[in-house]
A = this chain, B = another copy of it.
Amino acid sequence: METRTWRDLEQLIEDRDFLTLRNELSHIRDADIAVLMEELRSEHALVVFRSLPKDRAAEVFAYLSTSVQNQIVSSITDQEVGSIINQLFVDDAADFLEEAPAGVVKRVLRNASPETRALINQFLQYPPESAGSIMTAEFVDLKKHMTVREAFERIRRTALNKETVYTCYVIDSNRHLEGVVTVKRLFLADDSEVIGDIMETKIVYAHTLDDQEEVARLFAHYDLLSLPVVDHENRLVGIVTVDDIVEVIHQEATEDFQIMAATAPSEEPYMKTSVFTLAKNRILWLTILMLSATISGAVLQRYEQAFIALPLLVTFIPMLTDTGGNAGSQSSTLVIRGMALSEITPADFGKVMRKELGVGAITGVVLATVNFVRLTIMYPGEPLMSLVVCTALFITVILAKTTGGVLPLIAKSLKLDPAIMAGPVITTIVDGLSLIIYFKIVEVVLLR
């Protein structure tokens, strides 16, 4: 929607026309200013940042990438650092500091107010990808005995520094969570009603150490805008808001894509990752899988006599192993995704096995038939060979489907990430199996 691009802004900076610049910036949304700053040279990005009013500077800062955040912090005064860090929501501050170099962390914490510093230090202790690490401490708390009018007054007095005001949390004097009440519910109540009477007591909550994926599931299941987080003594310590959950869902899906492609997971965007890091993330699995593939090689070596006698047999190997790999990957991908969405659990082992046996039988028959027709046309004089190839194909597909469907479930039971049992691993396993099946049948039918 913005017509001004970073080139226009760059011109304004070079012309030192700061008045127009400031005016232009006031028409651009925080998230888009961050995008522009990412594109600008670092001195220019700093000029843009300094042209922002104080309250916006912290908002924009939260949207920046870690590298630009570090650049900014190392170019501004201690006082400016303090002002930004005190205005940031504590979860955004912790996010930034988690990945900042030690020097920057020290300088930031030194310039933060004592309360902010204590809060940030607490947040930095939660394990990554836990509910604690994605929660924020800025929420509205109410007491049971308040009236709706008093609640509104409290909300209006404190709204400025709260990440969300739309769900309020009712706590007792020990900070134990007693209920939640939405602003919508407050709107529907009379001013004189008492919070304790209208609050919702069927509370969905998380513990600080719960996995963020589990938290995301609660949001999806209950259509939540925010979720309270309690510590081991069941005291309310923070809330998770839905905008962070949108990020978690993207992140978790990306991680699954990466692991399923046999790559080490990384949160850095592809375009910002160096060639060296990309290579490093991929090399381990490639090596493991390459060495595993020598098992298939050993199978082939064992049956060398068969293809010396009938060299044509070799030409069907790619079709057979690829189809097996593809059939298995389809099953494993659907099961892994189903598990990620909590639609499938290890308890469904038997059901998945039966389903994949059925699917394997149907697809196996169709593929074997299509292939038989093709082989009969291409090699009309070799019906027995065609039959051997298609029988091997049929068995391979059934085996691939059941293996692919069941291995992610087994991985989960063994506390491994089911996503590793995706295409690459399944293909390697099915390759070996399909070659054994193929040459066993060849041996029995063609070489006797």
Contacts and interface: CB of A to CB of B under 8 A. Distances in A.
A29 B202 contact: yes
B298 A307 contact: no
Contacts of A256: 257
Nearest to A191: B156
Interface stretch (A11-19, A68-76, A220-228): A220-228
Interface string A238-280: 0000110111011001101110111100000111000110110
13 contacts: A155-B187, A220-B246, A250-B341, A256-B257, A263-B333, A270-B337, A271-B343, A278-B355, A279-B366, A290-B322, A291-B374, A296-B319, A423-B423
B290 A334 contact: no
Which of A224, A332, A334, A370 gathers most chain B CB within 10 Å? A334
Interface in A269-323: 269-271, 275-276, 278-279, 282-283, 285-287, 289-291, 293-294, 296-298, 300-301, 304, 307-308, 311-312, 314-319, 321-323
Interface stretch (A169-177, A229-237, A424-432): A424-432
Given A166-B166, A246-B245, A363-B286, A270 B317 contact: no
Contacts of A312: 301, 304
A330 interface: yes
Contacts of A261: 329-330, 332-334, 423
A286 B363 CA distance: 8
Given A159-B188, A188-B156, A222-B31, A293 B322 contact: yes
Q: Is the interface of A mostly helix, strand, loop or mixed?
A: helix
Contact of A308 (B282, B308, B335): B308
A351 interface: yes
Contact of A317 (B223, B224, B290, B317): B317
A16 to B, nearest CB: 26
B31 A221 contact: yes
Contacts of A187: 152, 155-156, 159, 165
A243 B223 contact: yes
Interface residues of A, number: 113
Nearest to A326: B424
A219 interface: yes
A262 B431 contact: no
A104 interface: no
A297 B431 CA distance: 16
A371 interface: yes
A270 B318 contact: no
A105 interface: no
A318 B291 contact: no
Interface of A: 1, 27-29, 31, 152, 155-156, 159-160, 164-166, 183-184, 187-188, 202-204, 219-225, 242-243, 245-247, 249-250, 253-254, 256-258, 260-263, 269-271, 275-276, 278-279, 282-283, 285-287, 289-291, 293-294, 296-298, 300-301, 304, 307-308, 311-312, 314-319, 321-323, 325-327, 329-330, 332-338, 341, 343-344, 348, 351, 355, 358-359, 362-363, 366-367, 370-371, 374, 397, 423-424, 427-428, 431, 435
Contact of A275 (B155, B219, B270, B358): B358
A286 B327 contact: yes
A315 B333 contact: no
Contacts of A362: 275-276, 279, 283
Contacts of A155: 187
Given A300-B314, A358-B279, A323 B293 contact: yes
Contact of A160 (B188, B289, B314, B344): B188
